[in-house]
Structure 1
Amino acid sequence: MITRPVPSLEAARPQDYPHSLTDGVSATDVPFEPEAHWSVPWLLAQRVSRSGDRPLVARRSPLGGGWRNVSARAFGDEVAQVAAGLISMGLEPGQRVGIMARTSYSWFLLDMAIARAGLVSVPIYETSSAEQVRWIVSDAQVRLVVTETGAMSDLVHEASREVDHEVQVMALDADAVANLIEVGRSVGLAQVDERSEALRCDDLYSIIYTSGTTGRPKGVELTHRNAVGIPHHGVRYLPAVLRGSEVRLLLFLPLAHVYARCLQLLSLAGDGVVGHTPDVSTLLADMQSFAPSYVLAVPRVLEKIYNAADAAAGSGARLRLFRWASRVAIAYSRSLDTPQGPSRALRSSRVLADRLVYRRIRALLGPNARFVISGGGPLGERLGHFYRGIGLVILEGYGLTETIGPVCVNATWLNKIGTVGPPVCGNQIRVSPEGEVETRGLGVFSAYHNDPEATAAAFTADGWFRTGDLGTVDEDGHVRLTGRKKEIIVTAGGKNVAPSLLEDRLRGHPLVSQVVVVGDGEPFVSALITLDAEMLPQWLHNHGLPKMGVSEAASHPRVLAALDRAVARTNEVVSRAESIRTYRVLTTDFTETNGLLTPSLKVRRTEVLRAHGEVVSQIYASSGKGPTEG
């Protein structure tokens, strides 16, 4: 048990952050102190002052698939013009403006303009229901919502009928940005500057409503201290990733989620160029044309890339080659963590595997990708070692909406696969006697909006935030997560089971899309499995089976036999009491649309159990003999 703050790398002064292991670290228990003048507009002004004529944003050309650079100064000027428009609409300092739009240049522009005008941004997922919109607009007292389309504007209008204040709505596809710039011409730049300069680090920057896996979303109040502190020190912690004229990041995850939002702020604090693409169907092509130097991904995306490569290998010699290359990559990566390092034979095998296999996989991420930042869920050691073994630097991190991004991140110079790294950038970590990870520091939020009871429950008596995650900390200060506290399954026999370990391993099979392990209060552990509709046709072809849909495949003997083997391999890492004894294959996947996935692709476990409660009941009402269709 750890009863004191872990001495952590973030406690070194910014200039002392090492570029390699040989540089050394000066560690204390004192976190960074914020400066009173910190604000998001100040962060933008710093970028303009530092490199105003160099590109900050690459904006997709409307005439083709190319990208047009926008300098930091030009972007800053446009931000000021939009901010003037917001002021001209009568919005007072501290009032809330919602953004309900796709990840795009316009989203970035609006977010910066809202802050520049001394207002508070409130992201709303474009997939939100009318009830969710109504709750957010009412709870946050949102005065203006800028939507992507007229259809979304109609939804907001309808949802706002019952709130007790006036809500204005503008749509990007109806020239919202141009209209704001036009009406802002009557507002002088001095008035915009006055709003920005009045901001202090503890003023509210944004209220982000947790996508949540259970219950009504809570509004997380994030200050300018949070929004500036992590990026300001983050670029000093990871200079190889975030510093330099060649740094490029292509964002495709929703900016309404704190993960992508934080990386956008990191791009602002660093030297690189950020681009946006909202359409994942064109993501691979966009990666080629934009050529990011580092990639922001959630584990499910990395799983899909691996599974697609496995499926594309087909069968026979090509499949054996891919599987051999995969084993070499994992073995090579593991050997990097040993005193002796890779053997000569293993190095030779990796050179051959790189020529035959790895180069093609790396190329999927674009011609310049060197780093992959993984967050939003556990990556798992198998995938972590695979990607490091093929030549990508995997920087797995850990954070929550309540910490505006990373609490911990693996560094380029001290990277432990299977951990989420040490606490960074003014954050500290400790583990409670019950095994819960607790944190405090520069990135940690101050309160849940309009919810003092939830706020009080979220913090310990001495001011540490209870993350709800279970974990341990090793001798180097690296954090290893073991599961969500509220998701731990306790079987009827009293065995504690962390479902994430089983779920992560089983999702590694090409046929599997999602997994939910169940068994709380029951005599044994079981699982609900969904099939990956995208991978299924290739898998069927590789195994000499005719085309069939998910419903038919869910009960096909050959498919079930493959899943039996996958479950057996998954069970090898746990005791019999923790192993999956039976499972059911569902004929519908979990999606954002049906409410079973969050926008960051996390499973809404409570909603899944509610939607498929009858299937779970059938599992435990039966004898538990083998799989059947659900």
Structure 2
Amino acid sequence: MTRHATIPPMETVKGVAINVDSSQRPLLVDGCDTISGLFRHRAQSEPTRIAHREKTLGIWREFTWADYWTHAKWIGLGLRRLGLQRGEVVQILSEDRKEWLYFDQGVQCMGGISSGIYTTDSSSQVAYILQNSRCRFLVVENEEQLDKFLDIPDGAPGVDKVIILEDEGLHDLKGERFLFLPELYALGQQEEAEHPGSFEAEIDKAQPQDVALLIYTSGTTGAPKGAMLTHENVLHAIQAGLRNLAVRPEAEQLCFLPLCHIFERNNSAYFPIAARSVVNFAESPETVFDNLREVSPEVFAAVPRVWEKVYSRVLILASEATWTGRMAYGLAMKAGMARAEAETGGKPLSILGRAGVALAELLVFRNLRQLLGMDRLKQGISGAAPISPALLKWYRAIGVPVFEGYGMTENAATCTVNRPGADRLGATGQAMPGVDLRIAEDGEIQSRALANFKGYWELPEKTAETFTADGWLRTGDIGRIDDDGFLIITGRLKDIIITAGGKNITPAEIESRLKFSHYISDAVIIGDRRKYLTALIMIDQENVEKFAQTARVPYADFASLTRAPQVQDLIRAEIDQVNKEFARVEQIKDFRLIDVLLTAEDDELTATMKLKRSFVEKKHKALIDDMYR
């Protein structure tokens, strides 16, 4: 329970008591003012309710809130026995799994700071984060991730213990620095036996303004910075999620994006604690679409790249169907697009239009949604990067409601969101409760809310630069707010292109439109201080290979595929189509295809699959120069 004497007015949302005014302190969720306090309340009030599921040997296994609480307690007490102090950072280097959440809560309940490292990070990147966060306790998933630690040249001397979740291939591992998870559990059990009630006592010591988690930014503009988020920041995000998302008790969710990122941490770690929804962990990034069909979630949050991939798969399936199947899909899409147009414009469908949609639902869309694992989806959320309005419209056409939202690590991913009844394509939605927005003179979007972070870890100067003199968060994005309060983002301040003719161009909208092509995976617009715009294009391997096979285009590998004249013509036609939608000064005059497959292990991409513009331009300078000769 809260320690505050003044209790703010409360309301009940989806069975959870939260502040009437979410900008008012203290922020309370079910009477709790910290994440760890809410976790204790949920585990003790509903111990037998299912908290999450995970696959073991192909079978989904269920774990209750009591399981969650017990294992988090053993971890927290075990770490305390090893010397963990309040305010120290524990790093987790693992794919999504139940133990990720156990460590997250175990560390926070003991007053520690939970942080995560992307499994795609290199050994040097791991070394930087360990050193920067002054980490003494590192959690690694398996031998592959342990090798990154072992490859650090100086041995990461600040790390006292490395806790390993899986022992496969490591039975001969020796050394006092290494500890397997069962051994940590045993230490926690010993600590509990010797000091009963100490875990609960540590939870009671937490304050809302204490740092609960450290989220490292993706490093698109330099070395990653650790963003400090407090218990209060996360509780604000939880309140916003309860009010705006279709989460409810026992609602099924799928966890598959990196838990290091605040987007997935909110969706799969913190919102479920309040909403009592059930988190299902995907087996691996490669099995996401199979697991999606198995789980058929009610809420599904993903980055645009995932929504684009689903769309591409459907187009491939449609192209491979029989003549009758292709005809049925085409007619159904006409009816679906009419529905999407009506919904977007707020106008009713004609009787003929409703009949067409009903037939399309019966013959095509109902089966398609079931095939995709979206037959029970009440709300899809797209965030972390811009998504094409045309893609959102396609999802509306097939009966899948996908809504775009906007946030960033520095405001706990809590700023604006579209939702049923308040939705506008091309906008990221209206401000969430308790969030104030304004547009600065230079067009920058600035926000003010209790979700705004405490600052960057040991970087007071960078922290000061991120806030205005009157305390508003500088997002670095530019945009506008329409008369109905919908936020339209037009680009990034640092990405504005000023052509040699003095024209200011924001490339984000052009790039987003290019990516709607199912042959284009990503694009970077070039043109700063140059006479015209050009583009570096990443092709969609799966769809372009399918095109090449159908068109009998010979190729030996990915590089030769990008050089094939027919593929060049294909992408040129896609660009020409996009050019028609923009003014002459915004049109792309030339392009080059990047001839290597990029992954999160490459410098050009972040772990959340966002292009690092500066790295791309530097690495492919020869291609860029060739377009301006």
TM-score by length of 2: 0.90
- In structure 2, what is the Cα distance between the partners aligned to 1:560 and 1:149? 42
Determine which of 291, 296, 299 is the counterpart of 1:291.
Answer: 296
Determine which of 386, 391, 397 is the counterpart of 1:383.
Answer: 391
The residue that corresponds to 2:224 in the other structure is 217
Letter in 1 for 2:35: V
- In structure 2, what is the Cα distance between the partners aligned to 1:459 and 1:362? 44
* Residue pairs, 1:210-289, within 5 angstroms: 210-238=217-245, 241-245=246-250, 247-264=251-268, 265-289=270-294
Alignment gaps of 5+ in structure 2:
1-7, 168-178
Do the aligned residues in 2 keep the contact of 1:234 with 1:425 (CA within 8 Å)?
no
- In structure 2, what is the Cα distance between the partners aligned to 1:549 and 1:331? 41
Deviation sequence 1:19-63 (CA, Å, 0-9, x none) = 9xxxxxx999x8232348622211212322443321111122x23
Do the aligned residues in 2 keep the contact of 1:93 with 1:195 (CA within 8 Å)?
no
- In structure 2, what is the Cα distance between the partners aligned to 1:568 and 1:14? 55
Alpha carbon RMSD of aligned pairs, Å? 2.4
User: What stretches of structure 1 move > 6 A for 4+ residues in a row?
Assistant: 16-19
1:468 shift after superposition: 0.6
- In structure 1, what is the Cα distance between the partners aligned to 2:363 and 2:45? 43
1:164 shift after superposition: 6.2
1:138 shift after superposition: 1.4
Do the aligned residues in 1 keep the contact of 2:73 with 2:188 (CA within 8 Å)?
no
1:339 shift after superposition: 4.6
* Residue pairs, 1:345-364, within 5 angstroms: 345-363=352-370, 364=372
Letter in 1 for 2:57: L
Q: Structure 1 stretch 489-498 or stretch 247-256: which is displaced more?
A: 489-498
1:359 shift after superposition: 2.8
Letter in 2 for 1:39: T
The residue that corresponds to 2:36 in the other structure is 41
Determine which of 12, 19, 23 is the counterpart of 1:31.
Answer: 23
The residue that corresponds to 1:432 in the other structure is 440
Q: 1:547–1:357: structure 2 CA closer, same or farther, 3 Å change rule?
A: farther
TM-score by length of 1: 0.90
The residue that corresponds to 1:54 in the other structure is 49
Q: Structure 1 stretch 223-232 or stretch 339-348: which is displaced more?
A: 339-348
Q: 1:173–1:490: structure 2 CA closer, same or farther, 3 Å change rule?
A: same
Determine which of 508, 525, 531 is the counterpart of 1:517.
Answer: 525
Do the aligned residues in 1 keep the contact of 2:76 with 2:109 (CA within 8 Å)?
yes
- In structure 1, what is the Cα distance between the partners aligned to 2:292 and 2:281? 11
* Residue pairs, 1:145-544, within 5 angstroms: 145-159=138-152, 161=154, 165-174=158-167, 176-188=180-192, 189-238=196-245, 241-245=246-250, 247-264=251-268, 265-314=270-319, 318-319=325-326, 321-363=328-370, 364-544=372-552
- In structure 1, what is the Cα distance between the partners aligned to 2:298 and 2:13? 21
Q: Structure 1 stretch 174-183 or stretch 508-517: which is displaced more?
A: 174-183
1:498 shift after superposition: 1.7
* Residue pairs, 1:595-610, within 5 angstroms: 595-610=603-618
Letter in 2 for 1:202: Q
- In structure 1, what is the Cα distance between the partners aligned to 2:283 and 2:384? 18
The residue that corresponds to 1:112 in the other structure is 105
Do the aligned residues in 2 keep the contact of 1:513 with 1:589 (CA within 8 Å)?
no
- Give the % identical residues: 29
- In structure 2, what is the Cα distance between the partners aligned to 1:403 and 1:226? 8
- SS of the equivalent of 2:430 reads coil
Q: 1:13–1:289: structure 2 CA closer, same or farther, 3 Å change rule?
A: farther
- In structure 2, what is the Cα distance between the partners aligned to 1:606 and 1:402? 22
Letter in 2 for 1:136: I
Q: 1:250–1:72: structure 2 CA closer, same or farther, 3 Å change rule?
A: same
Q: 1:402–1:567: structure 2 CA closer, same or farther, 3 Å change rule?
A: same
Alignment gaps of 5+ in structure 1:
1-11, 20-25, 622-630
Letter in 2 for 1:34: P
- In structure 2, what is the Cα distance between the partners aligned to 1:285 and 1:586? 30
Do the aligned residues in 2 keep the contact of 1:31 with 1:428 (CA within 8 Å)?
no
The residue that corresponds to 2:176 in the other structure is none
1:434 shift after superposition: 1.1
The residue that corresponds to 1:573 in the other structure is 581
Q: Which has the higher contact order (CA 8 A, sep 6+)?
A: 1
The residue that corresponds to 1:624 in the other structure is none
Deviation sequence 1:50-80 (CA, Å, 0-9, x none) = 43321111122x232x312211122112211
Q: 1:326–1:562: structure 2 CA closer, same or farther, 3 Å change rule?
A: farther
Letter in 2 for 1:331: A
